[in-house]
Amino acid sequence: MTQHLPEAHPQHPVLSVSGACKRFGSVVALDNVSIDVHRGEILALLGDNGAGKSTLIKCISGVHRLDAGDVVIDGAANVLRSPADARLAGIETVYQDLALFDNLTPAQNFFAGREIAGPRWFPRAMRFLNKRKMDEQTRSLIQSLNVSLPHLDAVVALMSGGQRQAIAVARSAVFARKVVILDEPTAALGQRESRKVLDLIGALRDRGNAIILITHNMEHVTELACRAVVLRQGRRVGELVPTRDNKQELVSMIVGA
């Protein structure tokens, strides 16, 4: 089956959503939306506020369930009942609010909910933490992603906005095996800090992940994304290969002018 040899079939999308529908009461948040992403590709998901981007990624990351439509991961249909299901399926999400624990260190944040612990025959909650191993893995990951975190033993509350964003993105890198979804990863950052996060996203892609990037920054879209899909009022209204020249076209697709 393809899910065992994903690299051997690069032409198959690693994640394929088809016919996605989702309503909240009488509001139609998603109306028959389909997207595909491949390994090593960055897909920009664009749209105005309320276009359905957030609903779509929440359905892919297991926070909401689709009313209709399929999520196919590596050729196998999946029902994502919870965020834990999505993570098990190899989908990592970097939320807009970062979902970081301010009172924990970067290493503790990385492994929150997926602690390395033993012995295995203990019930999971009662296992003893392998702190050294988690610290080691954190250090080597931070090095390999070229993130500068001077105070690895300090709690995240003490770190700057860019460092926090980097930690959230790096956390997804620890476990991402297939898809990483990023919701406005640079919205709250200055130019220099944005640059670092964009490099990090590139590194995640180079590791063979498929990336779904939500952003309002057209510069970042043209620089990074292979394709851009535009949503408007819950519908998919178009797809483009973003370049410097068709930026205007993309913007008018977003606002519907």
Give the three-class secondary structure for 108.
helix
d(CA 89, CA 18): 17
Among 144, 146, 160, 243, binds another protein (CB under 8 A): 160
Q: Is 100 in the site for another protein (CB under 8 A)?
A: yes
Residue closer to another protein by CB (options 116, 237) is: 116
Residue closer to another protein by CB (options 41, 184) is: 184
Q: Phi and psi (nearest 5°) for 58?
A: -65, -30
Q: Which two tokens stand for residue 66?
A: 């689709």
Q: Is 64 in the site for another protein (CB under 8 A)?
A: no
d(CA 2, CA 21): 27
Q: Is 87 in the site for another protein (CB under 8 A)?
A: yes
How many other C-beta atoms lie within 10 A of the C-beta of residue 182?
27
Q: Is 143 in the site for another protein (CB under 8 A)?
A: no
Write the single-letter amino acid at 129. L
In b/e form, how buried is each residue of 148-172, taking b as 16+ CB within 10 angstroms?
ebeeeeeebeebeebbbbbbbbbbb
Among 102, 140, 187, 256, binds another protein (CB under 8 A): 102
Among 51, 159, 166, 173, binds another protein (CB under 8 A): 159
Rounded to the nearest 10 degrees, the angle between the axes of helix 161-175 and helix 191-206 is 10
Q: Is 113 in the site for another protein (CB under 8 A)?
A: yes
Among 27, 79, 152, 158, binds another protein (CB under 8 A): 158
In the shown chain, the binding pattern of residues 161 to 200 toward another protein, with x for contact by CB under 8 A and - for none, equals xx---------------------------xxx-xx-----
At a CB cut-off of 8 Å and minimum separation 6, what does 241 contact?
226, 227, 228
Residue closer to another protein by CB (options 27, 154) is: 154
- Which residues are at the interface with another protein (CB under 8 A)? 63, 82-84, 87, 93, 95, 97, 99-104, 108, 112-115, 117, 124-129, 148-151, 157-162, 190-192, 194-195
